Amino acid sequence: MRKLLKGALIASICSVGAMQCYAQDSITFVSWGGSTQDAQKQAWAIPFSNKTGIKVIQDGPTNYGKLKAMVESGNVQWDVVDVEADFAYRAAAEGLLEPLDFSVINKSKIDPRFVSKYGIGSFYFSFVLAYNKSKIHGAQPTNWNALFDTKDYPGKRALYKWPSPGVLELALLADGVKPKDLYPLDLDRAFKKLDTIKKDIVWWGSGAQSQQLLASGEVSLGQFWNGRIFALQSDGMPVGISWNQNLVMADFLVIPKGAKNKNAAMKFLAYSSSPQGQADFASLTAYAPINEDSPALMEKGLTTYLPTHYSKEQVSLNYKYWAKHGEEIAKRWNAWLLK
């Protein structure tokens, strides 16, 4: 009788407040949109829902100001958010994130570069040097120096517009700084190097825009996310790639402080970071899995397109440094853009 009364009560509540009832069995997942979020939906959200019965509602794009405002107001509408690694560390320091429950999330096989108390890798990727073969005459570019060699490699250059890890580091590497000596960043030296090609730079702010610039020939070469180059090559576009000193960057999955569906969010993070979840996402995007058991679950031919295949050439960007100094660097970056 008690069970029947309890069931009737729940049914009554759900009929009156359907959204409240529904929210108990759902999470809101926020990412960047486009092909990346489509792949996250296919690789993680759909199989996770099939396995657990927890619905994953897609939202986006990721907006750091909005996340912070939600937490500070106490009205958190998001449960899992895909953010850049440096923001994950900064947000944790500002008290904006829930600590992760590693009794639910298995981190034993997660690359230690991509896990912290407050975040776990969504995926990792590399900034690579890529070029339009029809625009390159003679020797193919092999390192970041080519970006600054307008004589042998004429044409416009594509660079990521935002003040985040990548552009300043590649400028310093091209100027002769060794990877082990990159940090703390010598900002004067980096901006001086960028000054030499500033008039030739075409800035991109999204993966789709970067692809269009390179495929159309508007730029001859530039800095790109490796997965976007993989997509162009898969479509038969005449683009080449150099993995020399590929710059490793990552996205993290985090749970905002005060998330209404925290327990379900932990389960989602456990699935998305699992060997199969990471393998499925990497197979769709050519972004690298953060779980060390994932490559064995993937087609062998695909792994040659992943940053994991070029680990000896990698330069890992320092997310913690950027988390601490990113805001002051951004001020100088924005001022430099306006000069």
- What is the CB neighbour count within 10 angstroms for residue 186? 17
Are domains 2-123+251-306 and 125-249+313-338 of this chain identical in fold? Answer: yes
- CATH 3.40.50.150 holds for 125-249+313-338: no
- What is the CB neighbour count within 10 angstroms for residue 135? 18
Residue 72 and residue 91: Cα distance in Å, rounded? 12
The DSSP element (H or E) to which 65 belongs, if any, is helix 64-73
Of 87, 67, 97, the closest CA to residue 257 belongs to 97
Residue 323 and residue 96: Cα distance in Å, rounded? 14
Q: Report the percentage of the chain scoring pLDDT > 90.
A: 83
**What tokens appear for 315 in the block?**
């330069």
> Which parts of the chain sit beneath pLDDT 70?
1-24
What pLDDT does residue 24 have?
Answer: 54
Encoded amino acid at 116, one letter: S
What pLDDT does residue 95 have?
Answer: 97
pTM listed for this prediction: 0.82
Annotated domain spans of the chain: 2-123+251-306, 125-249+313-338
Which 3 state secondary structure label does DSSP give 132?
strand
- Give, in words, the CATH class of 2-123+251-306: alpha beta
What pLDDT does residue 25 have?
Answer: 86
Residue 288 and residue 339: Cα distance in Å, rounded? 37
CB 318 within 8 A of CB 161: no
What pLDDT does residue 258 have?
Answer: 98
